[in-house]
Amino acid sequence: MRVEEGWLTGVRRVVSPHCDLRPAEEKPSLLIIHNISLPPGQFGGPYIDQLFTGTLDPEAHPFFAEIHTLRVAAHCLIRRDGEIVQYVSFNDRAWHAGVSQWQGRERCNDFSIGIELEGTDTQPFTAAQYQSLVSVSELLISEYPISVENITGHSDVAPGRKTDPGPAFDWAGYRHALQAQP
pLDDT digits (tens, 9 = 90+) for 48-59: 999 999 999 999
* Predicted local distance difference test score (pLDDT) of residue 117: 98
For each of the domains in the chain, give its residue range(s) and CATH number, in order of start: 3-180 (3.40.80.10)
To the query of whether residue 116 is one of the catalytic residues in this protein, the response is yes
Give the mean pLDDT of the chain: 96
Residues 6+ apart with CB under 8 A from 97: 32, 108, 109, 112, 114, 154, 157, 158
Residue type, 26: E
Does the pLDDT value for residue 179 go beyond 90? no
CA dist 126 to 76, 129, 130, Å?
A: 17, 5, 7
pLDDT digits (tens, 9 = 90+) for 161-177: 999 999 999 999 999 99
The CA-to-CA distance between both ends of the chain, in Å, stands at 16
Does the pLDDT value for residue 16 go beyond 70? yes
Which contacts of 20-26 are long-range, i.e. CB under 8 A and separated by 24 or more positions?
A: 20/92, 20/93, 21/92, 21/93, 22/91, 22/92, 22/93, 22/110, 22/111, 23/110, 26/110, 26/111
Residue type, 83: E
* Predicted local distance difference test score (pLDDT) of residue 11: 97
Q: What is the DSSP string of 139-159?
A: HHHHHSS--GGGEEEHHHHST
Given the residues 5, 83, 116, 138, select the one marked as catalytic: 116
- 117-142 mean pLDDT: 97
Does the pLDDT value for residue 182 go beyond 70? no
180 falls in which pLDDT band (50, 70, 90)? confident
* Predicted local distance difference test score (pLDDT) of residue 151: 97
Q: How many CA atoms lie within 13 A of 148 on its CB side?
A: 12
Contact assessment for residue 76 and residue 109, using Cβ atoms and an 8 Å cutoff = no
